[in-house]
Structure 1
Amino acid sequence: MDSSPRPGYPSQSDHAEHAGHPAWQLTADLDEFHSRAAAFLHSAPALHTALLSVTDMLRTRGLHVYGKEDPLFGIRADGEGAVSGAFLWTPPHFPALSPLADAAAADELAGVLADAGLAPAGIGAESATAGAFSAAWQRRTNATPVVHYPQRLYRLGTLTPPLPSPAGGARVATGADRELLARWHGEFHEAIGEKAAMDAGEWADARIAYGGVTLWETPDGAPVAMAGNTRQVAGQVRIAPVYTPAHLRGRGYAGAVTTVVSRAALAAGADEVLLFTDVDNPTSNELYQRLGFSPVRDFTQYGFTR
């Protein structure tokens, strides 16, 4: 990949005068981003779970796995190279931004993006950081931030399997399940009202490649629910998505398959098993708390309108 900045992007040398003061640096080079931001992202794997998993997917499946446009990466570092913030952007999706220590860092990033002539359609981050960036973006561009998707991050404590467990059992999805996975992927995103980050077939292929979807089947072998999982990165695994077709809900399948995936992640050595829920969905929040998940932090996606 070409490591040079795109036209209009500040290069690392453009910030040399900021010795001692953190400054945002943009790059189109995934390898540079990974080498410089990895230690920072690994320092708080739960809070950086989205950036870790997306970076991993880009490195394993290619730069355009999320869309045709080239991704953009950002690092906030001081003159000694100490990193205090990071983001990645896979257009046309919203950039994902790490939690930032203060509103000034968010304002600085808004300025860098605006000065470079870049116009993200929104932002996704820990709620305080997302709010600070959205306010700064509004001041600079007159765009109006609108809450797009409020989420809550959960971390598994002591796994508490649901009792009684529904009849049937779990198995890891294979290539023979590709059509089903792609269809359920689409149905899941339609149900939550969110555009999928990846093409359904590409998503199915990527997950099948590393055993990243588990199906719950009835005793006669009919699949009735699925739970996906990211690959383990920095000791964390995130469960996503969990889906049961509407006509099969309320029978315990989601809890059962989530339990199986959680156990498998722990058995494979994961230090943290995570998942996001829709803050406004009491059913899913209650389910995961019964299974032993505890809230970590709220995250928010804002869309920008004019």
Structure 2
Amino acid sequence: MASTPCPGWQLISDLDEFHSRAAAFLHSAPALHTALLSVTDVLRTRGLHVYGEEDPLFGIRIGDDGARGPREATVTGAFLWTPPHFLALSPLSDAAADELAGVLADAGLQPGGVGAESTTAADFAAAWQRRTDATAAVSYPQRLYRLGTLTPPEPAPAGGARVATDADRALLVRWHGEFHEALGEKGAMGAGEWADARIAYGGVTLWEAPDGTPVAMAGNTRRVAGQVRIAPVYTPVRLRGRGYAGAVTAEVSRAALAAGADEVLLFTDVGNPTSNELYQRLGFRPVRDFTQYSFTR
């Protein structure tokens, strides 16, 4: 389906069209657009239905950004939706968020929630409630961090890091499941598909004990627009408190910088002081808070 004209917003079903029209805008602020950039990259490399059976939907906003006046033919906002997952939005003015809620509601679409920079997410959630019979509730407050000067833990725990391979697939599948079970949510894609996708480009690093037993993992997205995002970081419960998470995160960060990344990013749960303190000790600094809202009817 070609793009559908809307006042301000254009809905797009073709991934290549979205990528060509939104790329410059998304690349203009890679950190704030990290989720849209990484999801678009996965869709382009793994296929349109990697996140679910339904076709994804994309959108761009052209012109007036609600703050700096008319900007004809300039992209000033973007979103993507991979049902059954939440909408992912770029930062938007309150007017642009309200307008998008109206466009989607008028089209009869029913996303289960939204995730975005916190002000944008709150504006969209409020607009969605006004325009539909849905109730919005915060489901996951997050904080985006950017690496400043990497400060590896000293002393490092015994052992060392290595990139996961096909031989580690069963372990990655199991740890992926345990990680999301601890969060109380399903992963964005199936555990097997996730493991295959990450192994294909060396996207998971394991920390091994001296005897070769894996004790923690840290994943990373592919480099897009100069940025790499670390996710997930996981240590089995029985092995926590020994410095493995910090060591493997530091190694993934070091490797990303050595490979040419301009920015190394990660999200944390705002309500988890342990992880927030750990990443700040490693040299990560807060960028912006993000929030996910779930919608119920």
Same-fold call, TM > 0.5?
yes
Residues 124-154 of structure 1: per-residue CA shift (max 9 Å, x gap): 0000000000000000002111001000000
Q: CA deviation at 1:4?
A: 3.2
* 1:217-271, Cα deviation, whole Å (9 max, x unpaired): 0010000000000000000000000000000000000000001000000001100
Post-superposition, which runs of at least 4 consecutive aligned residues in structure 1 deviate over 2 A? none
Taking structure 2 as the reference length, what is the TM-score of the superposition? 0.96
The code of the aligned residue for 2:151 comes to: T
Q: Tell me whether 1:69 sits opposite 2:54 in the alignment.
A: yes
SS of the aligned residue for 2:186 comes to: coil
The root-mean-square deviation of aligned C-alpha atoms, in Å, is 0.9
Which secondary structure state, in structure 2, belongs to the residue aligned with residue 255 of structure 1? Answer: helix
2:84 maps to which residue?
A: 92
Q: Size of the alignment, in residue pairs?
A: 290
Task: Report sequence identity in percent.
Answer: 83
SS of equivalent residue, structure 2 residue 288:
strand
1:4 corresponding residue in structure 2: 2
> C-alpha displacement at 1:81, in angstroms?
1.8
* 2:22 maps to which of 22, 33, 37: 37
**Which of 233, 238, 242 is the equivalent residue of 1:251?**
242
170, 177, 181: which one aligns with 2:172: 181
Q: State the one-letter code of the partner of 2:41.
A: D
TM-fit CA distance, 1:194: 2.1
277, 292, 298: which is aligned to 2:283? 292
1:112 to 103, 106, 124: 103
Amino acid at match of 1:67: G
For the pair 1:263 / 2:254, whether they are aligned, the reply is: yes
Letter in 2 for 1:131: A
Structure 2 counterpart of 1:26, one-letter code: L
Deviations 1:59-118 (A, max 9, x none): 000000001110000100128320010000000000100001x21100000000001000
* Residues 1:164 and 2:155 aligned together: yes
- Match in the other structure for 1:8: none
The AA in structure 2 aligned to 1:157 is G
In structure 1, what is the Cα distance between the partners aligned to 2:122 and 2:60? 19
| 2:213 is equivalent to residue 228 of structure 1 | no
Deviation at 1:166, TM superposition (A): 0.3
| Residue aligning to 1:155 | 146
- What CA distance in whole angstroms lies between the structure 2 residues aligned with 1:35 and 1:141? 32
Distance of 2:155 and 2:223 partners within structure 1: 29
Q: CA separation in 1, counterparts of 2:176 and 2:275?
A: 18
SS in structure 2 opposite 1:119?
Answer: coil
Residue 256 of structure 1: SS of its match in structure 2?
Answer: helix
Once residues 280 and 242 of structure 2 are traced to their aligned partners in structure 1, the CA distance between those partners, rounded to angstroms, is: 17
* SS of corresponding position for 1:35: helix
Unaligned runs of 5+ in 1: 6-10
Q: Which whole-Å CA distance do the structure 2 matches of 1:212 and 1:81 have between them?
A: 37
Query: Which sections of structure 2, spanning at least 5 residues, go unmatched?
Result: 64-70
Paired position in structure 2 for 1:203: 194
Identify which of 200, 210, 218 aligns with 2:209.
218
2:68 corresponds in structure 1 to none
Task: Report the secondary structure of 2:140's partner residue.
Answer: strand
Structure 1 length as normaliser, TM-score?
0.93
Deviations 1:9-32 (A, max 9, x none): xx1xx34xx6xxxx0110110001
SS class of match (1:277): strand
CA distance in 1, matches of 2:94, 2:87: 17
In structure 1, what residue type is equivalent to 2:199? I
